[in-house]
């Protein structure tokens, strides 16, 4: 029994939070669309009747994630993008000004820009310029805690202060860090979203998203989730719940492996530059060390030019070429020909995405096997 005064540790929370104290050790999956109504059960003070609104399995995931991120409440969604789009739509109105870092997931940036057709003013800035672009007209500010693909970390203490000074709401996409490495709400952010498809699920077998924040905002987003329809399926929720139970083990292991691999790549004569906030050579080492408990499982590195990068991609064997990150399998991508293909060369240059850049999501295989595969690939370029 854990004393009421002591906060439970993160794995204990991931495993036990929200679980019913009955005879089941593993909670059943409520694979149902409907519930007997009106004399049924309540979730968040609302009668349970239809799984697009609420579902006990989905709610178990929501309780765990609210506790893990340290927020008042959580909603789970059918994808990370459903979480982001539902939050945006629930928060912004015609005439509002929103500000986003340009250094975010491509689909999020496209979604932001598409809000302009509804009369919302969308401003964008590089991470380093976000804080100074905030003014009293800024309603919402959006950043990622570790950016894709160059692994930059915003200066959160400064950002949070400026947001508070101007009454702007700060939303942080914490997908790359996870609550194991960083908890934005504890630092003063207002909302956290995560693609649960990545580390939370952790096995590359489910698409899901979560939103954590204050109760009032979550209630508003609940209405929008119901009406937009981006609710999470109970079986998908179960897969994320199962993933959460090993989240700390996996993320800490991936932190360690990524650190070793980043250091080895940094010393390799075919590698021009390595981007990883855990490296002393990183411009983000200082801020990341101050804020984060670990630096994550994603590394990016430069190998001269695009031809060499593609050659490496086709030369690795254990490491697979596929989008996404955070699973058990080590994956590699070439951003210029995949995630950032539709971004102009000028904008790519501004974002620091070179033709020879590769992104590696370190999985759970043995470190030496991953390194051996990379070294074999590097030998061929």
Ligand X SMILES: Cc1ncc(COP(=O)(O)O)c(C=O)c1O
- Candidate list 8, 44, 52, 272, residue with the active-site label: 52
Residue spans of alpha helices (H) in the chain: 10-16, 56-69, 80-91, 106-114, 127-133, 156-166, 178-181, 184-187, 215-228, 234-244, 247-266, 285-291, 306-315, 345-351, 367-379
Residue 198 falls in the annotated catalytic set: yes
Q: Tell me the C-alpha distance between 79 and 42, whole Å.
A: 25
- Contact indicator for 82, 197 with CB cutoff of 8 Å: no
Enter the tokens of residue 4.
């009421």
Active site residue 105: yes
Q: Which of 30, 105, 191, 284 is catalytic?
A: 105
Q: Across the strands, what pairs with 18?
A: none
Cβ pair 88, 213 in contact under 8 A: no
- Reading the block at residue 104, the tokens are 């975010």
Residues that bind ligand X in the complex, under the rule CB under 6 A: 79-81, 105, 108, 144, 148, 173, 175, 195, 197, 207, 209, 324
Tell me the CB-side half-sphere exposure of residue 88, using CA atoms within 13 A: 27
Four-point Cα dihedral 215, 177, 16, 76, nearest 10: 50
CB of 322 to ligand X, least distance (A): 11
Complex with ligand X: residue 81 or 319, whichever CB lies closer: 81
| Catalytic hit among 183, 198, 257, 354 | 198
DSSP-derived 3-state class of residue 125: strand
From the CB of 256, what's the least distance to ligand X, in Å? 22
Backbone torsions φ then ψ of 303, nearest 5 degrees: -125, 65
Catalytic, 121? Answer no
CB of 178 to ligand X, least distance (A): 11
Residue (of 65, 38, 62) closest to 50 by Cα position = 38
β 121-125/138-144 pair status: unpaired
Residue 191 bears catalytic tag: no
Closest Cα partner for 381 from 269, 264, 276, 258? 269
Residues involved in catalysis: 52, 105, 173, 198
């Amino acid at each position: 029994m854990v004393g009421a005064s002591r906060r439970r540790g993160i794995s204990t929370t991931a495993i036990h939070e929200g679980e019913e104290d009955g005879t089941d050790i593993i909670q059943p999956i409520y694979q149902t669309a409907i519930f007997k109504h009106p004399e049924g059960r309540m979730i968040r003070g609302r009668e349970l009747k239809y799984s697009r609104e609420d579902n006990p399995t989905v709610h178990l995931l929501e309780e765990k994630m609210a506790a893990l991120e340290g927020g008042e409440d959580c909603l789970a969604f059918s994808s990370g993008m459903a979480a982001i789009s539902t939050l945006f739509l629930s928060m912004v109105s015609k005439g509002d000004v929103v500000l986003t870092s340009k250094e975010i997931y491509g689909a999020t940036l496209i979604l932001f820009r598409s809000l302009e057709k509804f009369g919302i003013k969308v401003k964008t800035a590089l991470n380093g310029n976000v804080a100074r672009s905030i003014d009293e007209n800024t309603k919402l500010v959006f950043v990622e805690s570790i950016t894709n693909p160059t692994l930059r970390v915003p200066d959160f203490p400064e950002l949070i202060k400026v947001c508070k000074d101007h009454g702007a709401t700060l939303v942080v996409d914490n997908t790359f860090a996870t609550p194991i490495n960083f908890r934005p709400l504890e630092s003063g952010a207002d909302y956290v979203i995560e693609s649960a498809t990545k580390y939370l699920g952790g096995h590359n077998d489910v698409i899901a998203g979560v939103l954590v924040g204050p109760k009032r905002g979550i209630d508003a987003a609940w209405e929008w989730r119901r009406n937009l329809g981006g609710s999470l399926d109970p079986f998908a929720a179960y897969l994320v719940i199962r993933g959460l139970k090993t989240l700390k083990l996996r993320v800490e292991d991936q932190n360690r492996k990524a650190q070793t691999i980043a250091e080895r790549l940094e010393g390799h004569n075919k590698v021009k530059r390595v981007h990883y906030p855990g490296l002393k050579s990183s411009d983000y080492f200082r801020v990341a060390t101050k804020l984060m408990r670990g630096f994550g499982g994603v590394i990016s590195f430069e190998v001269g030019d695009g031809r060499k990068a593609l050659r490496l991609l086709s030369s690795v064997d254990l490491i697979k070429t596929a989008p996404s990150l955070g699973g058990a399998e080590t994956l590699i991508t070439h951003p210029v020909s995949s995630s950032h293909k539709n971004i102009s060369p000028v904008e790519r240059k501004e974002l620091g995405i070179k033709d020879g850049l590769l992104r590696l999501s370190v999985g759970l295989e043995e470190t030496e096997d991953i390194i051996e595969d990379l070294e074999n690939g590097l030998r061929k370029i």
